[in-house]
């Protein structure tokens, strides 16, 4: 038996947050607990039927059974470009400014490999989606954490980033509407990001996975709408939340052609393209965007209002989200995020996500994903209400 040792890069990483949450959930189930999970942002609603039917039809076609192209079918990229014009008023070249992905996570995780060398800094929001940091570490870069604090609307303070860091930073991740804080960003913030990126030659990667999960008709805009954004960055989009397609693994990146070329080079060497039948199904989703996405938003909007009302009964502190299906909730006095998470799990069978799992600046918060139905929401909060905090 040989000695098995992990690389230094692996050792730098904490346990993947959502895998750890699933482990805790399974332990509770084994012990006979009835678990109601607000933990992972995986929609409980079914993928709309027209998308499923489009997949079935395309799966029957023999031409879709071969290796797909790395960049994606031109027809798929053209459909994305037409949707982008309708949704954001931004014209993209489907040949060079759109790249299909096996879900946006794949592109986010691989992007640092294309541009980051040892000792390069990557600006990473904290708290934030854990892949920004792990992709940076795997590429040999150094994450520089940008705190997202309540007093600043959960936006990074760009002026607080030291000059020496800005000069050595090659890449910056931003994400609005935000996971986990559910914050939205004003256009002025994106304009400031573009100015900083132009001055210091920093590539910007905007994760727009939750752009279509909005409420009260307050539509988020694309980073690419901002003047100069396409000169410095790209934007990641996902079908996962918009159309309840988390398991389908399809998304895309759009924007600067040279940045996408670099990402595409990594993709060509490390993975494959999206199954063509899935691309045809995704085209159907985009063609019927208004018809299919609006009912999904309506369901999550109703759940948002219900959860807010139930938390108001408990006196919990939170900011009602304008987008995403998350609540970022302050922990009560005397509780850190893990202690509150464990008490909810052990005493009520309620699974939430501790804020510090998203980074050190997430301490003092928990995240709730409203991906359960109204009956389960009410059952959960009835149980929570019985706990003496």
The pLDDT tens digits for 161-204 are 999 999 999 999 999 999 999 999 999 999 999 999 999 999 99
Distance CA 330, CA 367 (A): 9
pLDDT for residue 187? 96
Judge whether residue 360 has pLDDT over 90: yes
Q: Residue 328: how many CB atoms within 10 A of its CB? A: 26
Q: How confident is the model at residue 363 (pLDDT cuts 50, 70, 90)?
A: very high
pLDDT for residue 4? 85
CA nearest neighbour of 263 among 227, 286, 283, 235: 235
Judge whether residue 30 has pLDDT over 80: no
Q: How confident is the model at residue 17 (pLDDT cuts 50, 70, 90)?
A: low
Mapping DSSP to helix (H, G, I), strand (E, B) and coil, where does residue 119 land? coil
| Cβ(255)–Cβ(91) below 8 Å | no
Tokens of 240: 């996962």
Judge whether residue 355 has pLDDT over 90: yes
Residue 150's alpha-carbon distances to 27, 35, 112, 153, 317, in angstroms, are 33, 30, 28, 5, 12
pLDDT for residue 18? 62
Sign, CA torsion 119/120/125/130:
negative
pLDDT for residue 92? 98
Judge whether residue 68 has pLDDT over 70: yes
Mean pLDDT of 7-34: 73
Q: How confident is the model at residue 23 (pLDDT cuts 50, 70, 90)?
A: confident
In the chain, pLDDT over 70 holds for what percent of residues? 98
Q: How confident is the model at residue 153 (pLDDT cuts 50, 70, 90)?
A: very high
Mean predicted lDDT score pLDDT of the chain: 94
Q: How confident is the model at residue 21 (pLDDT cuts 50, 70, 90)?
A: low
Judge whether residue 16 has pLDDT over 70: no
pLDDT tens digits along 35-64:
999 988 899 999 999 999 999 999 999 999
pLDDT for residue 182? 97
pLDDT for residue 20? 67
Distance CA 206, CA 256 (A): 12
Distance CA 260, CA 253 (A): 7
pLDDT tens digits along 75-101:
999 999 999 999 999 999 999 999 999
pLDDT tens digits along 230-259:
999 999 999 999 999 999 999 999 999 999
Cβ contacts of 259 within 8 Å, gap of 6 or more = 114, 115, 203, 233, 234
| Structural domains in the chain, sorted by start | 8-46+292-385 (3.90.1150.10), 49-290 (3.40.640.10)
Mean pLDDT of 213-227: 96
pLDDT for residue 26? 77
pLDDT for residue 314? 94
């Amino acid at each position: 038996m040989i000695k098995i040792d992990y690389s230094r890069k692996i050792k730098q990483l904490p346990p993947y947050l959502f895998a750890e949450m699933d482990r805790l959930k399974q332990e509770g189930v084994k012990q006979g607990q009835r678990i109601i999970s607000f933990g992972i942002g995986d929609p409980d609603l079914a993928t709309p039927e027209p998308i499923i039917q489009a997949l079935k039809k395309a799966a029957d076609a023999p031409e879709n059974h071969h290796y797909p192209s790395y960049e994606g079918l031109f027809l798929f990229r053209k459909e994305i470009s037409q949707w982008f014009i309708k949704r954001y008023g931004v014209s993209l070249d489907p040949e060079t400014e759109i790249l299909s992905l096996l879900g946006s996570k794949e592109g986010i995780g691989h992007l640092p490999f294309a541009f980051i060398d040892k000792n390069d800094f990557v600006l990473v929001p904290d708290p934030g989606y854990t892949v920004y940091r792990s992709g940076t570490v795997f590429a040999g870069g150094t994450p520089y954490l940008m705190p997202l604090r309540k007093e600043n609307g959960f936006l990074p303070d760009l002026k607080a980033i030291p000059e020496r860091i800005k000069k050595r930073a090659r890449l910056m991740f931003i994400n609005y509407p935000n996971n986990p804080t559910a914050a939205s960003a004003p256009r002025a913030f994106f304009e400031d990001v573009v100015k900083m990126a132009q001055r210091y030659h920093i590539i910007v990667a905007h994760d727009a996975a939750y752009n279509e999960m909005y409420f009260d008709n307050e539509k988020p805009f694309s980073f690419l709408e901002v003047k100069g954004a396409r000169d410095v960055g790209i934007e990641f989009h996902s079908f996962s939340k918009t159309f309840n397609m988390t398991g389908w693994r399809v998304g895309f990146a759009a924007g600067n052609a040279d940045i996408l070329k670099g990402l595409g080079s990594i993709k060509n060497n490390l993975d494959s393209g999206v199954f063509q039948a899935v691309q045809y199904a995704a085209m159907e989703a985009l063609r019927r965007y208004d018809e299919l996405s609006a009912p999904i938003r309506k369901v999550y909007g109703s759940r948002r209002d219900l959860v807010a009302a139930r938390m108001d009964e408990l006196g919990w502190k939170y900011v009602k989200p304008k987008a995403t299906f998350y609540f970022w909730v302050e922990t009560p006095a005397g509780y850190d995020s893990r202690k509150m998470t464990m008490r909810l799990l052990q005493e009520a069978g309620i699974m939430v996500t501790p804020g510090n799992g998203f980074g050190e600046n997430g301490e003092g918060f928990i995240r709730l994903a409203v991906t359960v139905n109204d009956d389960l929401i009410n059952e959960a909060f009835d149980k929570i209400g019985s706990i003496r905090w």
